[in-house]
């Protein structure tokens, strides 16, 4: 059996912090490599095909495409940049031989840059660096390149890894160059760098097949498609394949289809060999982490592991008075089946039952990770209610440990004092503070994950919307004790019905409203934020009494202050332990767990008596 080197093939991934231009760079590469016809209409960020990705402008799911350059087929993988989707990055890195680290020429290395680079160096992947967005007016490319080198050194990279090739680029304008004083051209220097520095795949095409399933796609025509990279051997469309399952059993079947990736499309293939990234259909229950092998001597590859979840939430059947009126899937069986289906492809997710059959504890990598799942389920027609996100604590001997995050804030210098004052009670510890451009500063904190919950909205208010905030899981540390909760109470509805302009106008002086007129409400539903501590019951359904007597000035228009917009993520970070978020395809509402105010007071008195 002879090892071969596939000089006609390269596999690499693009990794970076969120918003540093990965997907835009992939667009430019595919355009200049001739993947699209000259007259073909191509939308911006073509790799972000999911509706949520397009709306939010972020990559959530890893995806692969390919292009051909100088006779070589190059598979390119676009990865998420947000820390909450690190599980996607960790498993996708097993499909490639090199990584292209993209760093913003103004912002420099940020927390997720460190996370993805650390994972790449641990897998001994060949790194290349591109300093992107050099066309920004506040770009500082030389300084950022030095920061990247320092990052490599701090992560314990070898001398060979620290001697990385680098380029300066603008993915938006489609050019890359070795030196800043060179004229702007195209991306050929980048395409050449990939061919030169990404190692060609090696392996034995005549040995028994081994392919680790790293991602799952779905087709309405052929069902589940197992996607992975062939580690050794050859797979043929007309030959049987053995699936080595995670439980130790083996299933042998003939693939219904064998796919290769050409551009952005899946194309039928007759066979594929060492180093190829392919899709295989015909195994309806295949899972990520299982191995495709030869039926004669099936040998499983080590299954993938990803970092453990750090945050959990309760998912339950909707129990509000308005339950079942807006959703398609409303039962505990629907919810259980959907969560079990999500586990098949979402490696960083965990689901556990509770004492009640209609409630589940769902754990993930962060609020955004779970928020995307909830938003997806909402759009599919699910109705459910969820509790306040809770951090997952660990016990080490007699010590209690909690998750900590590395927090980096870019903000106007005038806001530094107010922000530091608010992070103190949240147990934030200042690690570094530097000037960052004209009139701005960069602060680095170590802070418990609990301390960040609900801080984003407050931070944007303190910085008048000019502050940038980045965080990434940094590990477990000592438990810092109880943290102060929400400073203000809520306004909750005391009567069911439909809100009226008359009632809202009378109550808007008591705080900030979350709803407008003609909104269905029920007793115990949160309709606004109180301007003081403590919760306050308000009647928002009261109609103006009709009379045949006209008073001077009574016909003046009642002008309502626009209600505060409360999207799903903001609701999740806003609620307290005694509150829930009700999620339906048409509405997102916040409510008290116990709807009756008298019963809530009775329970509070009972708790106080016990303590």
Give Cα separations from 392 to 309, 313, 350 (angstroms). 8, 10, 12
CATH number for the domain formed by residue range(s) 4-201: 3.40.50.300
4-201 and 394-478 share one CATH topology?
A: no
Highest-scoring range by mean pLDDT, 487-491, 537-541, 558-562: 537-541
* Cα 387 from Cα 389, distance rounded (Å): 6
- Please tell me the pTM assigned to this model: 0.74
Residues 205-250: pLDDT tens digits? 888 888 988 887 777 778 788 888 898 888 888 888 888 888 888 8
Using an 8 Å Cβ cutoff, are 258 and 278 in contact? yes
Q: Is the pLDDT higher at 344 or at 81?
A: 344
pLDDT at residue 397, as a whole number:
83
Which residue spans within 535-606 are E strands per DSSP?
536-538, 579-583, 588-592
Query: Long-range contacts of range 55-58, CB-CB < 8 Å, 24 or more positions apart?
Result: 57/19, 58/18, 58/19, 58/82
- Using CA atoms, how far residue 176 sits from 28, 46, 164, 180, 194, in Å, is 11, 20, 16, 9, 12
DSSP state of 564: P
User: What's the maximum distance between 2 C-alpha atoms anywhere in the chain?
Assistant: 101
Average pLDDT over residues 256-267: 84
Question: With bands split at pLDDT 50, 70 and 90, how would you rate the model's confidence at 84?
Answer: low
Q: Measuring CA to CA, how many Å separate 242 from each of 163, 208, 232, 349?
A: 42, 11, 14, 27
| Cα(123)–Cα(194) distance, integer angstroms | 18
328 Cα distance to chain centroid: 26
Query: What count of residues does the chain have?
Result: 611
What 3-state DSSP class applies to 382?
strand
State the DSSP string of 42-60: --SSTT--SHHHHHHTS--
Tell me which fold the domain 204-293 belongs to.
Elongation Factor Tu (Ef-tu); domain 3 (2.40.30)
Unique residue bearing structure tokens 């969120």: 18
How confident is the model over 343-358, as a mean pLDDT?
Answer: 83
Classify the C-alpha dihedral 550-552-556-558 as positive or negative: negative
Percent of the chain with pLDDT over 90: 17
How far apart (Å, rounded) are the C-alpha atoms in residues 547 and 25?
67
The answer to whether residue 553 scores a pLDDT higher than 60 is: no
If one counts every other C-beta atom within 10 angstroms of the C-beta of residue 272, the result is: 24
Over residues 5-18, the mean pLDDT reads 85
Domain ranges of the chain: 4-201, 204-293, 394-478
pLDDT tens profile 19-66: 777 778 888 888 887 765 554 544 444 444 445 544 444 444 456 788
| pLDDT tens digits for range 274-310 | 988 888 888 888 888 888 888 888 888 887 766 678 8
DSSP 314-338: EEEE--STTTTSS-SB-SHHHHHHH
pLDDT at 121: 86
C-beta separation of 434 from 442 below 8 A? yes
Pick the CATH number of 394-478 from 3.40.50.300, 3.30.300.280, 3.30.70.240, 1.10.10.60: 3.30.70.240
User: Which three-class secondary structure state does DSSP give residue 506?
Assistant: helix
DSSP string, 84-136: GGHHHHHHHGGG-SEEEEEEETTT-S-HHHHHHHHHHHHTTPEEEEEEE-TTS
- Residue with the two structure tokens 């300084």: 143
Q: How far is CA 378 from the centre of its chain?
A: 17
CA distance 503 to 528: 13
> Among the listed ranges 80-94, 105-119, 173-187, 401-415, which one has the minimum average pLDDT value?
80-94
* Helix, strand or coil, per DSSP, at residue 364: strand
Q: Look at residue 584 and tell me whether its pLDDT is greater than 90.
A: yes
**Which tokens sit at 310?**
């750090």
Q: How far apart are CA 328 and CA 349, in angstroms?
A: 24
Name the pLDDT band for 335 (thresholds 50, 70, 90).
very high
Query: Are 384 and 315 spatial neighbours (Cβ–Cβ below 8 Å)?
Result: yes
* Separation between Cα atoms, residue 511 and residue 380, nearest integer Å: 34
Angle at 584 between CA 580 and CA 590, to 5 degrees: 25
Residue 545 pLDDT > 90:
no
| pLDDT per position as a tens digit, 310-331 | 889 999 999 999 988 888 999 9
Neighbouring CB atoms inside 10 A of 209's CB total: 27
């Amino acid at each position: 059996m002879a090892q071969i080197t596939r000089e006609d093939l390269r596999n690499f991934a693009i990794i970076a912090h969120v918003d540093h231009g990965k997907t835009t760079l992939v667009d430019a590469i595919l355009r200049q490599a001739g993947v699209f016809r000259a007259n073909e209409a191509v939308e911006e960020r073509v790799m972000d095909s999911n509706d949520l990705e397009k709306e939010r402008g972020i990559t959530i799911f890893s995806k692969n495409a390919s292009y051909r350059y100088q006779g070589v087929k190059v598979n390119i993988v676009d990865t998420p940049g947000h820390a909450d989707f690190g599980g996607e990055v960790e498993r996708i890195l097993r499909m490639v031989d090199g990584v292209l680290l993209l760093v913003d020429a103004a912002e420099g290395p940020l927390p997720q840059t460190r996370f993805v680079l650390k994972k790449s160096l641990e897998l001994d992947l060949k790194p290349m660096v591109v300093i992107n967005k050099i066309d920004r007016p506040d770009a500082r490319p030389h300084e950022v390149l030095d920061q990247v080198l320092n990052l490599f050194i701090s992560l314990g990279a070898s001398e060979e890894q620290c001697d990385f090739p680098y380029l300066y680029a603008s993915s938006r304008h489609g050019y890359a160059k070795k030196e800043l004083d060179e004229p702007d051209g195209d991306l050929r220097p980048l395409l050449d760098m990939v061919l030169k520095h990404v190692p060609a795949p090696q392996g034995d095409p005549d040995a028994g097949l081994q392919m680790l399933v790293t991602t799952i796609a779905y087709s309405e025509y052929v069902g589940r498609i197992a996607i992975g990279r062939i580690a050794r051997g050859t797979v043929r469309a007309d030959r049987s394949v053995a699936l080595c399952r995670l439980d130790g059993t083996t299933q042998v079947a003939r693939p219904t289809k064998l796919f290769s990736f050409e551009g952005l499309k899946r194309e039928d293939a007759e066979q594929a060999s060492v180093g190829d990234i392919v899709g295989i259909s015909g195994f309806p229950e295949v899972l990520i982490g299982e191995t495709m092998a030869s039926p004669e001597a099936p040998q499983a590859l080590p299954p993938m592991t990803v970092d453990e979840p750090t945050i959990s939430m309760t998912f339950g059947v909707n129990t509000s008075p308005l339950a079942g009126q807006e959703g398609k899937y409303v039962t505990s069986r629907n919810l259980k089946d959907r969560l079990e289906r999500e586990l098949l492809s979402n490696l960083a997710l965990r689901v556990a039952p509770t004492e009640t059959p209609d409630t589940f504890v769902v754990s993930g990598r962060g609020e955004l990770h779970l928020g995307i799942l909830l938003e997806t389920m909402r759009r599919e027609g699910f109705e459910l209610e969820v509790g306040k996100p809770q951090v997952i604590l660990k016990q080490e001997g007699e010590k209690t440990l909690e998750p900590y995050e590395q927090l980096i804030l870019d903000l106007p210098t005038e806001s530094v004092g107010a922000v530091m004052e608010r992070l103190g009670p949240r147990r934030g510890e200042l690690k570094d503070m530097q000037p960052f451009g004209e009139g701005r500063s960069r602060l680095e904190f170590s802070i418990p994950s609990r301390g960040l919950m609900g801080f984003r909205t407050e931070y944007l208010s303190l910085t008048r919307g000019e502050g940038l905030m980045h965080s990434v899981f940094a590990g477990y540390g000592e438990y810092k004790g109880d943290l102060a909760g929400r400073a203000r109470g809520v306004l909750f509805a005391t009567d069911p019905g439909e809100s009226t302009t008359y009632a809202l106008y009378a109550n808007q002086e008591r705080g900030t409203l979350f709803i407008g007129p003609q909104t269905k409400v029920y007793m115990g539903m949160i309709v606004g934020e109180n301007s003081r501590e403590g919760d306050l019951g308000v009647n928002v359904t009261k109609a103006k009494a009709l009379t045949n007597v006209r008073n001077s000035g009574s016909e003046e228009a009642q002008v309502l202050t626009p209600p505060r917009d409360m999207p799903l993520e903001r609701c999740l970070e806003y609620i307290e332990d005694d509150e829930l978020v009700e999620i339906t395809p048409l509405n997102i509402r916040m409510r008290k767990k116990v709807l009756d105010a008298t019963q809530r007071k009775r329970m509070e008195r009972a708790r106080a008596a016990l303590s």
